[in-house]
């Protein structure tokens, strides 16, 4: 099951609601680094690594600085 989508209101993956049932999940990275998932009776959860990572980037440049090297 895909992880919950990013929620811009809270600045991380959307909170678990349980509405998706067994396997609903979210990973909160950065400083916290934790994985949450829903387990229901007779639910089997398998955690597999993926070959990518999610990142947030904050930059502080003027527009002149940004475009000075082609953007």
Average pLDDT over residues 43-59: 81
Instruction: Provide the whole-model pTM.
Output: 0.65
Report the mean per-residue pLDDT for the chain: 87
CA distances from 4 to 10, 13, 21, 35, 67 (A): 13, 6, 12, 11, 35
pLDDT at residue 43 tops 70:
yes
pLDDT score, position 71? 65
């Amino acid at each position: 099951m895909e992880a919950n989508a990013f929620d811009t209101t809270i600045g991380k993956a959307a909170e678990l609601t349980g509405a998706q049932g067994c396997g609903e999940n979210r990973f909160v990275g950065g400083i916290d680094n934790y994985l949450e998932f829903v387990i229901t009776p007779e639910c089997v959860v398998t955690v597999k690594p993926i070959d990518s990572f999610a990142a947030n980037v904050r930059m502080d440049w003027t527009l002149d600085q940004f475009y000075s090297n082609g953007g």
